[in-house]
Amino acid sequence: MPIVDLLHLAVIVVALLAGAWSLIAFRTSMPRGRFAVFGVASASALFGCAALSGEVGLLPPTAWFAVVLIVIAGAIIAAQRIAKPASQRS
C-alpha cells in the first residue's frame, strides 16, 4: 500500500472525527457555529483527497496533507476560542 493511500485514509478519518466532534461538542455553546467547523472539515476532506491524488498542483501531495491538517486544526482551535465565554478568555 503506497504512502499516499495511507494519507488519503488519514485525511478522511481526521475530517470525519473533527466534524462529528464539532457537532457534538458545540451543540450548546455554538448551536449554529458548529456547522462551520463541520463544513471546514468536510471541505478539507474533499480538497485533501483531490490534492493527494495529484489533481492540485503547486505543492507535492505530502505538503498538501500538512496544509489540510493545519486547516482542520485551525478551525477546531478557532471554534474552541469562540465558544468560550468572554470572562474565561485569557
Short-list 25, 1, 14, CA closest to 67: 14
Give the global pTM.
0.83
Q: How many angstroms separate the CA atoms of 37 and 2, rounded?
A: 30
Q: How many angstroms separate the CA atoms of 2 and 15, rounded?
A: 21
21-78 confidence digits (pLDDT tens): 988 988 888 777 788 889 999 999 999 989 888 888 888 888 999 999 999 999 999 8
Short-list 19, 15, 75, CA closest to 51: 15
Short-list 82, 14, 25, CA closest to 52: 14
Q: How many CB atoms lie within 10 A of CB 7?
A: 21
Between 88 and 43, name the one with better pLDDT. Answer: 43
* Domain residue spans of the chain: 3-88
